Amino acid sequence: MAYRTLDLTLISAKDLKNVNLFTQMRVYAIITISYDGPRSRQRIAPDRDGGRNPNWNATIHFTIPAGDPGNHLLRILLRADRVLGDRDVGFVQIPLRDIIATPGDTRFVSYQVRRPLSGKPKGVLNFSYKISDPITPPSVYPHLHFVAPPAAAAKLDQEPVIAYPPAEYYAVQQPYGYGAPAMPAGYGYSPAGYGYSQAGYGVSGMGLAAGIVGGAVGGLLIGDMISGGLEAGSGF
């Protein structure tokens, strides 16, 4: 949706109605746009020294639709800052259509200030404004489009490539016979805690042969001793 920006500088006022009896007025301004109500409300701080002839030279900014504003108004309300309650001094109302009709360079204008209840003129308000040409905001997501990956574009019927390990993934174990893999730290035991050493997996061929030979020799010696005893006892 297109919009315009309105830069408004409140310059000064002159010969305003004095609504204070004993103290000097401290006049401030409240500016609104009628179609937006309280949301457009902006305030310009009071001039504490000017009295009936305040000077502000303060700039405020509005964003307004670029279409036909209809009968909406720019309203400037002047008020006196008082200890016992602020009081209206006067107001200015300008058709928004008149402001939008003059975009471009800054314009300096003066409007009659009118009393709040009677509407009678009392004082003059001086301000300047600048209205921009219609502006179209850029897209929130400029140049947003989808580009399929090359593999997916070439073969849409293939399964997608998994770029992360599946949930039941384990470290690759060593081939059988290479010994138990090293356990991570923190398990509370080492590979030696299994209760047996690597040498305990079996008996070598040399050990087996030595055991067989030793058994045979022992049997022969025992047989010789028994045979010798029998011979001695028999007297042969």
Q: Which tens digit of pLDDT belongs to each residue from 140-169?
A: 665 555 555 565 444 545 555 444 444 444
Where do the DSSP E strands lie in the chain?
Answer: 3-14, 27-33, 42-47, 55-65, 73-80, 87-95, 107-114, 121-131
From first to last of its 236 residues, the chain has per-residue pLDDT tens of 788 899 999 999 999 999 998 889 999 999 999 877 778 899 999 999 999 999 999 999 999 888 888 889 999 999 999 988 899 999 999 999 988 888 888 999 999 999 999 999 999 999 999 998 888 877 666 555 555 556 544 454 555 544 444 444 444 444 444 444 555 554 444 444 444 444 444 444 444 444 544 554 445 444 444 444 444 444 43
Compute how many other C-beta atoms are within 10 angstroms of the C-beta atom of residue 187.
8
- Tell me the C-alpha to C-alpha distance, in Å, between residue 141 and each of 101, 137, 138, 144, 146: 33, 12, 8, 6, 12
3-class DSSP string for 62-110: EEEECCCCCCCEEEEEEEECCCCCCEEEEEEEEEHHHHHCCCCCCEEEE
- Per CATH, the number for 3-131 is 2.60.40.150
pTM: 0.58
Say how far residue 70 (Cα) sits from the centre of its chain: 40
Q: Please say whether the dihedral angle defined by the alpha carbons of residues 199, 203, 205 and 209, taken in this order, is positive or negative.
A: positive
Please give the pLDDT value at position 139.
62
